[in-house]
Amino acid sequence: MSRKRPTIADLRAMKGKRQLTMLRVLTMDEAEAAERAGVDIVSVPPELVLNPQYRDAAPSLFTMPGENFFEIGTADDFVRWAFRLYKAGADAVYCSAGYATIKRMADDAIPVIGHVGLIPSRATWTGGFKAVGKTADTAMQVFEAVKQLEAAGAIGAEIEVVPVEVAKAISERTSLIMLSMGAGTGCDAQYLFAEDILGQNRGHMPRHSKVYRNFAAEYDRLQAERIAAFSEYVADVNSMAYPEDRHIVHIDPKELSLFMKRVDGAT
C-alpha cells in the first residue's frame, strides 16, 4: 500500500501523538531505501531534491534540503535558493541563519525549519561541539531561541544535543515540530545521519548515534576486491592472457587479403 506524503498540517496534527523518524541522506540510493523502510522525514543536500528522478525514488518522504547559512548568503539569496528547491519538490527548507532571514522566507510562504541547541555552523557561540542547555540559564536561552523561531514564522526546529528533560519541556510549550538529534523522545521526531546508521563513519561517533550495519568494513572488502581484480587484469595483459579470442572480432580471410593488397599498395 502506497503512503501519502505528509503535509505540514499533517505533521502538526501528529505533534505529541507519535515519534516521527528522520534521516540525513546524501544519495538517491539512501533516499530510496528511506522511502522503502518507511522513514517519515529526510534532510538532503539541495542537489538531490533538484534531481528530476528524486520524487520517483522518494515520493512520500517529507523532504527538507539544507546547507550551512554561509554557503547561501543574504536573506534575499535564501529566498531565491528556497524558491528553486520548493519548485523542485521540497516540502520545507532548513535554515541555520538569523531570525530575520527565517522571517523573510516565512513571509513568502516558504516552510522553514530552524535549529537550536548545538548548531554546528555556529558552535563557537555556545562553547564548541558539546551539549547546550545544561544550566538553567542556557536552557532558557534554548527556549527563548525556540520562541524567536516561532515569532519568525518557522514551522519547526532541529534541537541538537540538549538535555532530554529540557527538550521535552520546550517541546511541550511550542507549536513548532521539534526534531530531536540527541535530545530524547520528548520531541516530535528522532533524527540520525544515514552514514552513522550504516556504519560508514570511520571517525568520531556522536553519543546520540546508533550503528546498525558495518558499511565501512564492506567498503574495505570491496576495495580489496577492486585492487585484486585490477591486479589480475594487469597480469593478464602482461602475460598476453588477455585478450582471448572470445574478446575480439575477425575479418573474413578474403576481405583481409583484399585489404592487405590495398593497404600495401597505398604505402
The confidence band for 204, taking pLDDT boundaries of 50, 70 and 90, is: confident
pLDDT at 267: 64
The confidence band for 70, taking pLDDT boundaries of 50, 70 and 90, is: confident
What are 132-179's pLDDT values in tens digits? Answer: 999 999 999 999 999 999 999 999 999 999 999 999 999 999 999 999
pLDDT at 125: 87
- Among the residue ranges 102-111, 116-125, 231-240, the one predicted with the least confidence is 116-125
pLDDT at 263: 93
Share of the chain above pLDDT 90, in %: 87
pLDDT at 16: 87
Q: What is the rounded average pLDDT for all residues in the chain?
A: 95
Share of the chain above pLDDT 70, in %: 99
What are 107-129's pLDDT values in tens digits? Answer: 999 999 999 999 988 889 888 88
pLDDT at 61: 98
Average pLDDT over residues 253-258: 95
- The owner of cell 505528509 is 6
Q: In Å, how far from its chain's centre is CA 162?
A: 22
Indicate whether 229 pLDDT > 90.
yes
Q: Which of 30, 35, 158, 160 is catalytic?
A: 160
Q: How far apart are CA 234 and CA 252, in angstroms?
A: 31
Domains recognised in the chain with CATH numbers: 8-212 (3.20.20.60), 219-264 (no CATH)
172 is catalytic: no
Indicate whether 192 pLDDT > 70.
yes
What are 7-53's pLDDT values in tens digits? Answer: 999 999 999 899 999 999 999 999 999 999 999 999 999 999 999 99
Indicate if the alpha-carbon torsion angle 170, 128, 44, 40 is positive or negative. negative
Indicate whether 266 pLDDT > 80.
no
